[in-house]
Amino acid sequence: MNNKTLILASNNEHKIIEVRAILGPGYKIVKQSDYNIKPIPETGLNFEENAIIKATGVFEATGITTIADDSGLVVDALNGAPGVFSARYSGENANDSNNNAKLLKNMAHLHKKERAARFECVIALIDKQQNNRVQTFKGVWNGTILYNPKGSNGFGYDPLFFDPVTGKSSAELSDEEKNKVSHRAIALAALKEHIKNKKTKERPL
């Protein structure tokens, strides 16, 4: 069986590695830079809007089935921040350390019960075999924010995000563990199920 080619509307190497690992065999994931597509401005007000904006931009440039991921950390006690600004929480040229430091500073006054947080991910799919229709798939991973970083795996806010199910920070999980429970894993599982069901329906009698 031929692999299904999907362009991932991203140049984020961490995301690309995770998406390839989670989707597994049967999919050829290529990044937008392979088609000389520059980063698309994320002007949406929420994760779904940004995912659709990125998927649409890449699909219009290539005509190839495209998926786009927009995701981030949501802390209710901070009115939803960092939210869509997760990657640039401490500024346009922010790095993970800067963002984590700002998050800890802004949450320093919050007690344990006030430190609930969740990772959210929305995957947008534009499939040329489905009349270029946009479909979205969402994943949510609930947890809390630690007082200090723990673990060295992962990226972004992983060292600060505590998963109560595993009893570890996201950065303490192995790649295999994380790719079973994360927000991105949940969203991509829904995407895979959709593609699988579509293939089943299209199979000739």
Longest Cα–Cα distance of the chain, Å, equals 63
Give the list of residues 6+ apart from residue 186 with CB closer than 8 angstroms, or none: 121, 138, 139, 140, 141
Give 50's DSSP letter: H
User: Which residue's structure tokens are 């295999």?
Assistant: 176
User: Cα–Cα distance between 185 and 95 in angstroms, integer?
Assistant: 24
The question of whether 70 is a catalytic residue gets the answer yes
Catalytic option among 70, 96, 127, 163: 70
Closest CA to 146 of 110, 120, 181, 173: 110
Q: Distance between CA atoms of 54 and 43, rounded to whole angstroms?
A: 10
What are the catalytic residues? Answer: 70
